[in-house]
Amino acid sequence: MLSCFPNSKSQIRVSFAAQDWGWNRVRLLASILPYPMKRFSSALQRAMPLPTALRTSAAFSLALALAAPGFVLAPAQAQAQDTKAAATNAAAQRPRPAARGPLVSPEIGTDGSVTFRYSAPKATSVKVSGQFGPETALAKDVGGIWTVTLPKVKPGVHEYHFVVDGLSVIDAGNSWVKPQRWPNTSILHIPSNPPAPWDLQDIPHGTLHEHVYKSKALGGWRRIVVYTPPSTGKLTKLPVLYLSHGYSDNEASWTVHGKAHWILDSLIASGKAKPMIVVMPDAHALAPGSTPFDEYGPANSAALCSELVQDILPLVEASYPVNTKPSARAFAGLSMGGHHALTVALNHHERFNWIGAFSSAPPPNPSVSAGLDKPSAVNSDLKLFWVACGTKDFLYQRNKEFHAVLEGKGIKHQFVETEGDHSWPIWRNYLVEFTPKLFR
């Protein structure tokens, strides 16, 4: 074999191990001044004639190419590399396991079943927990993929998450995540047959717009989502519903998870609701923190009301063809948004004449005393004051108590008790029931 050892920048010692090439008596040690590579072969041939087969072989050509300053290839090293290459080639020829594609989760079957998958090779336990039924364990395969198939899941828009060794995580295979300030929930949407109002239908659809603006009231950048109904071709000024999310959610929650735009599309297409614009602000005018809600809630509502008057109403009324009369404005919200709605009803009834409070966290009486102390003004301005709560809601008792306060003050309102708890399936139904009552 050919062995090249650099001696200096300008000189190379080239030695040939004769026994490796089958020569019995020849061993060459030649010192060669730096020749151009094209003359290197002829110089070697003059030093020692080689068999024609060797000169023309690929092995000899490769050896010459490698005989450059700084390159070292000893016989033992070459043999090791040959062995390694052979092993690599052998390994390449062995059958390999089929490569996995991206995990599909959830996978909805034609029979109504749903399969959930999660990759966690080192986990000892994975469960799926959601609004569609009891917590269920997944089984792990040899590749570390955990799987379970639920035979029948009822239609609806469900929240769910995985519990991996006690830690709650979203479904990494599902891009539909509930918009929140601290995202922790994946979304499973199974359409109904016939379609529910919150399902995507083959009907005229409105448009969602997003606005980013600098709030004068709050001194920072803010965002709203605006729904405009399908065009009727008529240049009519439209009424506006201002719709608020709950605590920890954001301005996208009512559309991405609540499906408010599809609900409006369905109600308008069926003639149940009048065409209207829906404005969905970030209802956290103040950043939530460790402050108890009984303190945070009133301060946050006061800040949002200031932003409504100073920023949001002017932005919407300058950007869209809206009816600016108070009789063409409604405000509704869920949970913390219901806190906002009750505050608007009692403190700003002269600007918003239609109110919907869904599963509200009622404000303390002192923060809404302006309306409680002037029931006649509230009654004169409000065309609808609709308060609803589920009997299994943790805020049900507080809603009953606030209902009693309104009754005691003589403030006209509708108190609606329904089945259900504090969750989005209830609030979608409330929006379906409340919206057709507006602007009549």
Q: Specify the range with the lowest mean pLDDT, choosing from 31-40, 139-148, 216-225, 397-406.
A: 31-40
Q: Which of the listed CATH numbers 2.130.10.10, 3.20.20.370, 3.40.50.1820, 3.20.20.150 matches domain 207-437?
A: 3.40.50.1820
Which amino acid, one-letter code, is at 56? T
Q: How do residues 156-176 score in pLDDT, each as one tens digit? A: 999 999 999 999 999 999 999
Q: What is the mean pLDDT of the segment spanning 111-129?
A: 97
Q: What is the pLDDT of residue 100?
A: 60
Q: Is 73 exposed, middle or buried (0-12, 13-18, 19+ CB in 10 A)?
A: middle
pLDDT at 81 over 80: no
User: Which two tokens mark 308?
Assistant: 């409504």
Please say whether the beta carbons of 32 and 40 come within 8 A: yes
State whether residue 383 is helix, strand or coil.
coil
User: Which two tokens mark 37?
Assistant: 């590579």
Q: What is the pLDDT of residue 24?
A: 38
Q: What is the mean pLDDT of the segment spanning 389-417?
A: 98
Write the DSSP string, 305-361.
Answer: HHHIIIIIHHHHHHHS-B--SGGGEEEEEETHHHHHHHHHHHHSTTT--EEEEES--
Strand partners, 16: 2, 28
Q: Which residues contact 250 (CB under 8 A, 6 or more apart)?
A: 179, 180, 181, 282, 284
Residue 1, CA atoms < 13 Å, CB-side half-sphere: 12
Query: Rounded distance, CA 341 to CA 413, Å?
Result: 13
Please say whether the beta carbons of 419 and 391 come within 8 A: yes
Every domain of the chain with CATH number 2.60.40.10 lies at 107-190
Rg value, the chain, Cα = 38
Q: What is the mean pLDDT of the segment spanning 320-329?
A: 97
Please say whether the beta carbons of 327 and 350 come within 8 A: no
Strand partners, 186: 160, 177
pLDDT at 269 over 70: yes
**Length of the chain counted residue by residue:** 440
Calculate helix-pair angle for 424-434, 260-269, nearest 10 degrees. 30
As a whole number, the mean pLDDT across the chain is 84
Query: Rounded distance, CA 440 to CA 436, Å?
Result: 8
Q: What is the mean pLDDT of the segment spanning 3-10?
A: 39
End-to-end CA distance of the chain: 98
Strand partners, 146: 118, 140
Query: Which value, to the nearest 10 degrees, does the dihedral of the CA atoms of residues 293, 243, 396, 192 take?
Result: -130
Query: Rounded distance, CA 277 to CA 239, Å?
Result: 6
Whole-prediction pTM: 0.77
- Shortest CA distance to 281 belongs to which of 249, 324, 323? 249
Every domain of the chain with CATH number 3.40.50.1820 lies at 207-437
pLDDT at 66 over 50: no
Peptide bond into 6 cis (omega under 30): no
Q: How do residues 198-239 score in pLDDT, each as one tens digit? A: 999 999 999 999 999 999 999 999 999 999 999 877 778 999
| CATH code assigned to 107-190 | 2.60.40.10
Q: What is the mean pLDDT of the segment spanning 413-435?
A: 98
- Shortest CA distance to 308 belongs to which of 344, 346, 277, 354? 344
Query: Rounded distance, CA 108 to CA 97, Å?
Result: 27
Strand partners, 169: 162
> Higher-confidence residue: 254 or 34?
254
